[in-house]
Structure 1
Amino acid sequence: MFDHVKFGVSDYEASKAFFLKALAPLGVAVVSEGTPAYGVEMSSDGKVSLCLYRTEEKPALLHLAFVAERREQVDAFHRAALEAGGKDNGAPGLRPRYHANYYAAFVIGLDGHNIEAVCHAPEA
């Protein structure tokens, strides 16, 4: 269901250290990291990730990403979410800054959360 969950933290370094230590027994480690404003991605299997970033917002808005098996599902998600009242936050398309096959779409949900559908598979 989830590809990754991303949420903001007020003390980036302390929160990163907390989650890495607390989740180490589960095999969780850093997969990638950018600036504190972009954040850190942690995973135990390279498939599902927990991501943290520094923010001053309280409460911090959530970023929820759902797995899509095919790119057509990402397109359909985007259309359906807009029809359901969401606001566009990124049309379906490749995001090569993440990786070559990262095909995703983003909408802002009714409560302001960033909702994403992402397909990691190459185009069929």
Structure 2
Amino acid sequence: MENPSILSHVSLGSNRFSEALAFYDRVLATLGIGRILDLSEHQAVAYGRIYPEFWIQAPFDGQPAQSANGVHIAFLAKDREQVHAFYEAALAAGGKDDGAPGPRPHYSEPYYGCFVRDLDGHKIEAMAWLEPDK
């Protein structure tokens, strides 16, 4: 089976590694995503469904992690329910609201998503491509 993804992986640095892992364990589980590769002894953990596609790690250069203006990571959800579960889990785990779940017709009619900030201020999203109403 060919991997349909266009990216190998994305990495985010964290200043709060253990807390970030607890946050992402809880939030990504709502989308069926879990730890694929755990290198906690090196302060790096990869998440995915099959492949290690999303990494949380201590910054490689030893400097404090920073969130980037204009950058966000979007996780694919199956449906509205997963988008809402992601959003609620993120807020319950200490994330900050950056756009409640709902349609985003300016992206596309079937686009449904939410935005939150993680514990380090990184912008993350859960989004689903919904089937048109019949």
* TM-score, L = length of structure 1: 0.50
Give yes or no for the alignment of 1:60 onto 2:61: no
Alignment TM-score, normalising by the size of structure 2:
0.47
Paired residue total: 72
Percent identical pairs in the alignment equals 51
Any runs of at least 4 consecutive aligned residues in structure 1 with deviations exceeding 3 A, and if so which? 2-6
Root-mean-square deviation (CA, aligned residues, Å) is 2.9
Residue of 81, 84, 89 corresponding to 1:80 = 89
Kept in 1: contact 2:72–2:124 (CA 8 A): yes
Gaps of 5+ in 2: 11-65
Q: Supply the distance in 1 between the matched residues of 2:98 and 2:109 (Cα, whole angstroms).
A: 20
For the Cα contact (< 8 Å) 1:88–1:107, is it kept in 2? yes
What's 1:104 paired with? 113
| 1:10-65 deviation line (CA, Å, top 9, x unaligned) | xxxxxxxxxxxxxxxxxxxxxxxxxxxxxxxxxxxxxxxxxxxxxxxx76254110
> Residue 78 of structure 1: SS of its match in structure 2?
helix
Match of 1:122 in 2: 131
CA–CA separation in structure 1 for the residues paired with 2:6 and 2:128 = 9
Give 1:122 shift.
2.5
Q: Which amino acid aligns with 1:91?
A: A
Task: Name stretches of at least 5 consecutive residues in structure 1 with no aligned partner.
Answer: 7-57
CA separation of 1:102 and 1:59: change in aligned 2, threshold 3 A: closer
